[in-house]
Chains A and B, each alone.
Chain A
Amino acid sequence: MINNTSSGVAKISLTPNADSHFSRKGIVQITLLGLLLLLPVTAYFLGHIYYVNLASRITIIAMAAVGLNLAIGYGGMVSFGHAAYFGLGGYVAGISAYHAFDFTPFMTWPFSVPGSDNLLVVWLAAAILCGLLALAIGAISLRTTGVYFIMITLAFAQMIYYFANSWPTYGGEDGLPIYLRNGLPFVDTTNALSYFLICFAGLVLAMAITSRLMKSRFGAALTMARLNDVRLATAGISPYPIRLIAFVISAVITGLAGALYADLNGFVSPTMLSWHFSGELMVIVILGGVGRLYGPLAGAILFVMMETLLGGITQYWQLFLGLVLLGVVLFAKHGVMGWLAGRELNE
């Protein structure tokens, strides 16, 4: 506690240096976002649909990582179970499309709920369900801290994984195909570029919400809950609800990314819920730089590019991923964004 307090003070005294980093950081950020937008558009008009879909994949993974970054980076809650929300979002999209395709109701009792192939309905349902799941898991997990929190979030995600794996109605371990991508009024979502732009809007919105949130009173409270929760409690704010709300928002963002991912692939399976994916999301957040707004984006670009390029060369690419990750954790603590854009002041 005393260590935390003194480093908190040290950080505040560093504030005057903020401007010297701003321009470099700003340029890097605009470049990343600009490239992510311009390259797929160019690829689309050159007729390379594959690269448009690759960009959609990067964007969605980045959005999921933005959600996790809110919990890990800003809230200090090391969740090892965010695949649960990603997968749940995906299953909402899949199950909804399944029932809309079959004209069967999702449930009939106590009230009738039909399926829907409207993306707005799917997103709303995914957001609400992921929020409720995170509320339940968070309410139990946040009673604990440290290693317990890591293992409990992992265990709950495994619970959802095994449930999806052994529940036969929606394909069990074989997964559930989405025959026709869920649609929007007036937009052709089956067009690769339109769908990429939807995903891009989702990512930018998620980042804007994170940024807005962290500049608010709530964000200040969340930061203090991470640095020194006793101090926050002394100021008359209870840390538990602050953390819980941040955890729920984080899960909703990741869940919406999951819904987008299922519709992108036209397929949802328990793999989206697996603990490997939770680990990969954490890896992306760390590779990019923990607790930085653009960190998840940088991490997702790096991760998916490594997967695509190394995966094309060798089937053992995860061996190299492991070595790179080990190197980053042991020797380069501030991630890609720390290397490109200089250190963040509130790290």
Chain B
Amino acid sequence: MSVTLLIEQLLNGVQLGTMLFLMASGLTLIFGVMGLINLAHGSFYMVGAYATAAVTASTGSFLIGLGAGIAAAALAGALVELIVIRRLYHRPHLDQVLATFALILIFSEGTRFIFGSSPLRLSPPSWLTGFVTLPGDTRYPIYRLVLIGVGIAISIGLYLLISRTRLGMRIRAGESDREMIGALGVNISKLYTLVFALGAGLAGLAGALVGALQSVQVGMGEPVLILAFVVIVIGGIGSIKGALFGALLVGIVDTLGRVYLPIFFRAFMPPSEATGVGAALAAMLIYILMAVILAFKPKGLFAAHD
């Protein structure tokens, strides 16, 4: 029983981690290449989920919905970059924080205006519902396994994109010296729009996939955004490798903490109290982890550059 629980929760942790990676990789790419802190990243997550829910409801096909969700998020990202974000690259971080905070308000209230305050329904397609039996008699939902698979596929895809393609070469060049690749004739503003749209699309994908698991509602991107911040701070801002490692670490630690801390405190406390203490401590666990890591490595585990 307890081995079953452990396997199940480990998988849940990995699943949360891979979805966090989809968010965090975009954030960290955007910071690494453009030096921009983007609070509105959670809004693309929400846009992806809403577009997927709306299109899935009208076409009846989850895959078409998913495609539409990614496309809508990437398009929203490209538009936002063209209209607002490109004015912010040379601004101090304070301005970037405020402008993207303003974007959150606009996106959230705009979505509430269009779709209303009540959550939309989005469920995984019927061919992905059901359970598989894993070694140790663990019954685990297929859909969550698919999420893990998608996360791994995207990680490999991103790795190949960045290390093997011309675009990836330009992204890496942009990270190490922005002025120089401009001088070498690369169209920087096009590259920036592309990277931003790529990050937004990944966030949209995550939103759509998780939206089918939880609910699609206004403000759904914000808790994930803050977790993604913790991830990239732990991993080192600008480092994709750090984002992957940080995402898995945060996903697993958070999930296991929520399950095992209350159990742990129940060993020497009355059950009602143990649940409260355990839950409160579990909620703080990843932040404590972040504080400890930063106390030793102020630039994160895989600090890329400043």
Is the A/B pair a real complex? yes
Inter-chain contact A144/B280, CB cutoff 8 Å: no
Interface string of B85-103 (1 = CB under 8 A from A): 0010000011101110111
**CB proximity of B238 to chain A, nearest CB, Å:** 10
Q: Does B260 contact A (CB under 8 A)?
A: no
Q: Which B198-235 residues have a C-beta within 8 angstroms of A? A: 222, 226, 229-230, 232-233
**CB proximity of A169 to chain B, nearest CB, Å:** 7
Inter-chain contact A152/B290, CB cutoff 8 Å: yes
Contact flag A140-B113 (CB < 8 Å), given A166-B280, A322-B102? no
Could you list 10 further interchain pairs (A-B, Cβ under 8 angstroms) beyond the known A151-B233, A166-B279?
A143-B298, A148-B233, A163-B283, A283-B98, A283-B101, A316-B109, A319-B106, A322-B106, A323-B102, A329-B99
Q: Does B284 contact A (CB under 8 A)?
A: yes
Give the chain A neighbours of B106 by CB distance below 8 A.
319, 322-323, 326
- CA A330 – CA B84 in complex, angstroms? 8
Give the chain A neighbours of B222 by CB distance below 8 A.
275
Inter-chain contact A148/B237, CB cutoff 8 Å: yes
Contact flag A326-B93 (CB < 8 Å), given A159-B287, A318-B108? no
Inter-chain contact A162/B98, CB cutoff 8 Å: no
Interface centre among B31, B103, B222, B280 (most CB of A within 10 A): B280
Inter-chain contact A162/B229, CB cutoff 8 Å: no
Interface centre among B99, B105, B276, B283 (most CB of A within 10 A): B105
Interface residues of B (CB under 8 A from A): 31, 37, 84, 87, 93-95, 97-99, 101-106, 108-110, 112-113, 222, 226, 229-230, 232-233, 237, 276, 279-280, 282-284, 287-288, 290-291, 294-295, 298-300, 306
Give the chain B neighbours of A322 by CB distance below 8 A.
102-106, 109
Give the chain A neighbours of B99 by CB distance below 8 A.
325-326, 329-330
Inter-chain contact A165/B283, CB cutoff 8 Å: yes
Inter-chain contact A319/B105, CB cutoff 8 Å: yes
Q: Nearest chain-B residue to A326 (Cβ)? A: B102
Inter-chain contact B109/A150, CB cutoff 8 Å: no
- CA A160 – CA B101 in complex, angstroms? 21
Q: Does A53 contact B (CB under 8 A)?
A: no
Q: Nearest chain-B residue to A159 (Cβ)? A: B287
Give the chain A neighbours of B93 by CB distance below 8 A.
78, 146-147, 150
Inter-chain contact A275/B102, CB cutoff 8 Å: no
- CA A123 – CA B299 in complex, angstroms? 37
Q: Nearest chain-A residue to B295 (Cβ)? A: A140
Contact flag A166-B104 (CB < 8 Å), given A147-B37, A275-B222, A329-B99? no
Inter-chain contact B113/A319, CB cutoff 8 Å: yes
Interface residues of A (CB under 8 A from B): 72, 78, 80, 140, 143-144, 146-148, 150-152, 154-156, 158-159, 162-163, 165-169, 275, 279, 282-283, 286, 290, 316, 318-319, 321-323, 325-326, 329-330, 333
- CA A135 – CA B78 in complex, angstroms? 41
- CA A321 – CA B108 in complex, angstroms? 12
Inter-chain contact A282/B109, CB cutoff 8 Å: no
Q: Nearest chain-B residue to A141 (Cβ)? A: B294
The 3 closest A-B CB pairs, nearest first, are A322-B105, A159-B287, A162-B283
Inter-chain contact B276/A168, CB cutoff 8 Å: yes
From the candidates B84, B97, B287, name the one contacting A78 in the complex (CB within 8 A).
B97
Give the chain B neighbours of A159 by CB distance below 8 A.
283-284, 287-288
Give the chain A neighbours of B288 by CB distance below 8 A.
159
- CA A90 – CA B280 in complex, angstroms? 19
- CA A333 – CA B87 in complex, angstroms? 13
Contact flag A169-B276 (CB < 8 Å), given A78-B93, A283-B101, A318-B109? yes
**CB proximity of A167 to chain B, nearest CB, Å:** 5
**CB proximity of A158 to chain B, nearest CB, Å:** 5
Q: Nearest chain-B residue to A323 (Cβ)? A: B106
Q: Nearest chain-B residue to A139 (Cβ)? A: B295
**CB proximity of B122 to chain A, nearest CB, Å:** 24
Inter-chain contact A151/B94, CB cutoff 8 Å: no
Inter-chain contact B284/A163, CB cutoff 8 Å: yes
20 A-B residue pairings within 8 Å (CB atoms): A72-B94, A143-B294, A143-B295, A143-B298, A144-B298, A147-B31, A150-B37, A155-B233, A156-B287, A156-B291, A167-B276, A275-B226, A290-B94, A322-B106, A323-B106, A325-B102, A326-B99, A326-B102, A329-B98, A329-B99
- CA A133 – CA B295 in complex, angstroms? 16
**CB proximity of A240 to chain B, nearest CB, Å:** 12
Inter-chain contact B102/A148, CB cutoff 8 Å: no
Give the chain B neighbours of A325 by CB distance below 8 A.
98-99, 101-102, 105
Give the chain B neighbours of A169 by CB distance below 8 A.
276
- CA A151 – CA B105 in complex, angstroms? 19
From the candidates A80, A152, A162, A168, name the one contacting B233 in the complex (CB within 8 A).
A152
Give the chain B neighbours of A318 by CB distance below 8 A.
105, 108-109
